[in-house]
Amino acid sequence: MAIYSANSGSPYPCRFVKNPILIDGTLGDPSWQQAVELGFQTPVTHETPISKTVGRILWDKYYLYVGYKAWDKDIWSYFTERDSTTCQEDCLELFFQPNPDKEPYYNFEINALGTIYDALNLKRDAGGGDAHRWCRWNIGDIKVAIHIEGEINNPDVIDEYWQMELAIPFAELPTLGGKPPKTGDTWKFHLARYDYSIHLPKGVELSSTAALSIVDFHYLPEWQTLKFE
């Protein structure tokens, strides 16, 4: 499987698939073998994270598909209510800006239970904080599945990893006007992760597929470019 580097300077190739991907958390659908793998790095230092993560992105005429595999010795999450502050627990995140030149942008932050925080950020600093104004928007028809190798919420068990698959429906994104992207279109994006663990030296580790110079997942100028192929 091909591997994409955030430092390459070229757009991430988001490849088109003809058949819908089965969203079951296993990443076992054959279509995932077509995806270019995304590595994660820590903000500022750009070091390889202690907790490794890889991501993949594909699309068809209906959905943007995102798959993650997150190695984790201490998998935990408790929030179950929609739009809880899932970034305070183990969570995997997706950010994208369909118009690379201006806001709005979207972010999805989903914990290891599959609890969704989603937001349509019309203008970041006008929102009063991520957990307030913009998360009142909820996407419909989103598909989420989690697979865990380990025992969630049991710190006495050393876990192996958790995986997540997402299918984001283009028809439910207001800025697209009900239409999918076209081949050749570009978006700004990155994938990110919060990992909280008793096995980490500082108890927490943040990582992203983007080469961020500051600890801010919402820092649009340093997001990556995604190109629909």
Q: What is the mean pLDDT of the chain?
A: 95
Q: pLDDT class for 9, splitting at 50, 70, 90? A: confident
148-192 residue pLDDT tens: 999 999 999 999 999 999 999 999 999 999 999 999 999 999 999
Q: Report the predicted TM-score, pTM, of the whole model to 2 decimal places.
A: 0.96
Q: For residue 63, what pLDDT is reported?
A: 98
Query: What's the per-residue H, E or C state across the chain?
Result: CCEECCCCCCCEEEEECCCCCCCCCCCCCHHHHHCCEEECECCCCCCCCCCCEEEEEEECCCEEEEEEEEECCCCCCCCCCCCCCHHHCCEEEEEEECCCCCCCEEEEEEECCCCEEEEEECCHHHCCCCCCCHHHCCCCCCEEEEEEECCCCCCCCCCCEEEEEEEEEHHHCHHHCCCCCCCCCEEEEEEEEEEECCCCCCCEEEEECCCCCCCCCCCHHHCEEEEEC
57-87 residue pLDDT tens: 999 999 999 999 999 999 999 999 999 999 9
Q: pLDDT class for 4, splitting at 50, 70, 90? A: confident
| Confidence check: pLDDT of 1 > 60 | no
